[in-house]
């Protein structure tokens, strides 16, 4: 590892060229920074982008509706009534701030032991694989979920105090009886949506080349791919979407969100998740009577998928700032770039050719890493253990506060700041975290300035 120098000596670092591809980045800031289409979109794809955005923003109804029968089908159990309700402005969600606050852009995954190594999580026999607080008329919701926060003070090497909080999940008003002692839960906050099509276009061979599960290079970083079920192919494939890389494609990620969050079936997932105990849910879904069918058409799913595939990445800012340049050097020097890979290359992209053959800078390897006990949720997901998470992309990070009313970070929104998020890193990232803890304040300022430029 290269020696970390003090900021005063490091200001002589040579200027780094701007690494933005104008065809896939948008030079925009402010509230709409995550909402622009790729500049390279042709007219046909641009029209489809806007049609997909309308569906993404659509408030779905219970139905049947004579006016818009294509927009009904909400429920029987659901979390929210639209995609944008969790992904406002395509940015991060917000966790509840206290026990009296409800989950609006955060959800709870459920599982019980017994899924088997390398298999999908085993759903709870009564509540399924996701806690749905709401139900349509006549269908009881599953209950109320909220968080209670506890806080401790961590101190950096120079004595600077940093408050770190962690959530305690509270599930109450349970509509179908107790959950039981074996239930495993995971709180998940909605992530930002920019650049997803570019990440989808990175070849699987490149991800396998980045993986190092046996730590052959001895750097302590053991990234691994997650092998997950691809419903369209009917086979296992490399996962790259979802907080544990548990979805192989954007289309399946979106179909899963429509199913789990809004209760809308699709050609990819044509059955509702009502359990045997949830009789009112099953009756409303019409599954027992053989009346159920996909509520979302292939065309609708494809339009929403194109919309999420074609969202542009905001261009970087302040790249000529000496402080930012030093921060970038420090980011690599302390090992952050071992997981947050600065550059990837897209391959062929038949669904959206505008994405093909581009060098991108997402600051992720799309691999699973053990992040230590502090961030572990204990819920395995295919190859991912309870302590492993996919490296989140960092592009657009510095615009979070402009897009989101109350910016928070990490999978459950526990961190109020990027420094707090760094201090929660452990496991494979512990050496990098400790390097930040020991940094002189000016170097730490430079590192945070670099992250803010992304």
Model pLDDT for residues 292-308, shown as the tens digit of each residue: 679 999 999 999 999 99
- Assess whether pLDDT exceeds 50 at residue 16: no
Q: pLDDT category, 115, cuts 50, 70, 90?
A: confident
At 221-240, the pLDDT tens digits run 999 999 999 999 999 999 99
CA Rg, the chain, in Å? Answer: 22
What is the SS3 assignment for 438?
helix
- Assess whether pLDDT exceeds 80 at residue 135: yes
Q: pLDDT category, 291, cuts 50, 70, 90?
A: low
Buried b (16+ CB within 10 A) or exposed e, 251-283: bbbbbbbbbbbbbbbbbbbeebbbbeebebbbe
- Assess whether pLDDT exceeds 70 at residue 241: yes
Burial class (CB in 10 A: 0-12, 13-18, 19+), 216: exposed
SS3 per-residue string spanning 368-416:
EEECCCCCCCCCCECCECCCEEECCCCCCHHHHHHHCCCCCECCCCCEC
- Assess whether pLDDT exceeds 90 at residue 270: yes
Distance CA 361, CA 33 (A): 17
Q: What is the mean pLDDT of the chain?
A: 93
Our measurement of the distance from residue 180's CA atom to the centroid of its chain's CA atoms, rounded to an integer in Å, reads 28
Distance CA 341, CA 221 (A): 12
- Assess whether pLDDT exceeds 70 at residue 258: yes
Phi and psi at residue 409, to the nearest 5°: -135, 170
- Assess whether pLDDT exceeds 60 at residue 15: no
Percent of the chain with pLDDT over 90: 87
Of 55, 77, 79, 87, the residue nearest 68 (C-alpha): 55
Two tokens, residue 246: 């548990």
Q: What is the pLDDT of residue 290?
A: 57
Q: pLDDT category, 3, cuts 50, 70, 90?
A: very low
Q: What sections of 22-74 are H helices per DSSP?
A: 43-57
- Assess whether pLDDT exceeds 60 at residue 8: no
- Assess whether pLDDT exceeds 80 at residue 66: no
Mean pLDDT of 251-279: 96
Q: What is the pLDDT of residue 7?
A: 45
Contacts of residue 450, defined as CB under 8 A and 6 or more positions apart, other chains included, come to: 323, 324, 325, 326, 327, 328, 330, 331
Q: What is the pLDDT of residue 64?
A: 65
Q: What is the pLDDT of residue 118?
A: 85
Q: What is the pLDDT of residue 365?
A: 98
Distance CA 326, CA 307 (A): 36
Cα distances from 431 to residues 135, 145, 197, 428, in angstroms, run: 46, 35, 32, 7
Distance CA 355, CA 198 (A): 6
Mean pLDDT of 426-454: 98
- Assess whether pLDDT exceeds 50 at residue 55: yes
- Assess whether pLDDT exceeds 80 at residue 448: yes
- Assess whether pLDDT exceeds 90 at residue 359: yes
Q: pLDDT category, 1, cuts 50, 70, 90?
A: very low
Our measurement of the distance from residue 129's CA atom to the centroid of its chain's CA atoms, rounded to an integer in Å, reads 17
Two tokens, residue 77: 């159990």
Of the candidate ranges 175-179, 213-217, 289-293, the one whose mean pLDDT is the lowest: 289-293
Model pTM greater than 0.85?
yes
Q: What is the pLDDT of residue 116?
A: 78
- Assess whether pLDDT exceeds 60 at residue 11: no
Is the pLDDT higher at 342 or at 73? 342
Distance CA 53, CA 306 (A): 9
Our measurement of the distance from residue 91's CA atom to the centroid of its chain's CA atoms, rounded to an integer in Å, reads 10
Domain ranges of the chain: 7-453
């Amino acid at each position: 590892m290269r020696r970390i120098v003090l900021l005063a000596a490091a200001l002589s670092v040579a200027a780094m060229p701007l690494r933005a591809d104008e065809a896939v980045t948008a030079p925009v800031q402010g509230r709409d920074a995550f909402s622009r289409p790729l500049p390279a979109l042709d007219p046909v794809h641009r029209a489809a982008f806007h049609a997909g955005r309308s569906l993404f923003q659509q408030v779905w109804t219970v139905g049947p509706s004579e006016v818009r029968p294509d927009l009904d089908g909400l429920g029987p159990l659901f979390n929210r009534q639209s995609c944008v309700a969790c992904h406002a402005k395509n940015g991060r969600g917000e966790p509840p701030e206290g026990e009296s606050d409800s989950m609006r852009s955060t959800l709870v995954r459920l599982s019980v032991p017994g899924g088997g190594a390398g298999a999908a999580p085993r759903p709870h026999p009564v509540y399924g694989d996701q806690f749905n607080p709401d139900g349509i008329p006549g269908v009881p919701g599953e209950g109320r979920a909220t968080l209670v926060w506890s806080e401790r003070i961590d101190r950096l090497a120079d004595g600077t105090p940093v408050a770190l909080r962690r959530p305690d999940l509270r599930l109450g008003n349970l509509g179908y009886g107790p959950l039981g002692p074996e239930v495993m839960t995971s709180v998940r906050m909605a992530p930002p949506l920019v650049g997803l099509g570019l990440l989808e276009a990175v070849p699987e061979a490149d991800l396998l080349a980045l993986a190092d599960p046996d730590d052959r290079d001895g750097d302590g970083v053991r990234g691994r791919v997650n092998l997950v079920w691809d419903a369209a192919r009917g086979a296992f494939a490399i996962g790259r979407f979802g907080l544990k890389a548990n979805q192989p494609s954007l289309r399946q990620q979106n179909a899963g969100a429509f199913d789990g969050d809004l209760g809308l079936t699709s050609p990819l997932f044509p059955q509702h998740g009502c359990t045997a105990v949830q009789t009112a849910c099953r009756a409303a879904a019409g599954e027992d009577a053989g009346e159920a069918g996909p509520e979302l058409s292939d065309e609708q799913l494809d339009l929403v998928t194109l919309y999420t595939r074609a969202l542009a990445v905001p261009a970087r800012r302040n790249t000529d700032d000496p402080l930012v340049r030093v921060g970038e050097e420090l980011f690599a020097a302390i090992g952050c770039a071992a997981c947050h890979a600065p550059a990837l290359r897209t391959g062929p992209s038949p669904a959206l050719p505008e994405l093909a053959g581009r060098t991108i800078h997402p600051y992720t390897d799309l691999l699973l890493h053990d992040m230590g006990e502090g961030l572990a949720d204990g819920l395995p997901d295919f190859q991912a253990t309870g302590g492993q998470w996919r490296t989140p992309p960092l592009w657009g990070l510095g615009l979070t506060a402009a897009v989101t009313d109350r910016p928070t970070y990490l999978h459950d929104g526990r961190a109020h700041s990027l420094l707090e998020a760094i201090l929660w890193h452990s496991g494979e990232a512990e050496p990098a975290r400790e390097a930040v803890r020991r940094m002189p304040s000016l170097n730490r300022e430079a590192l945070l300035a670099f992250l803010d430029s992304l």
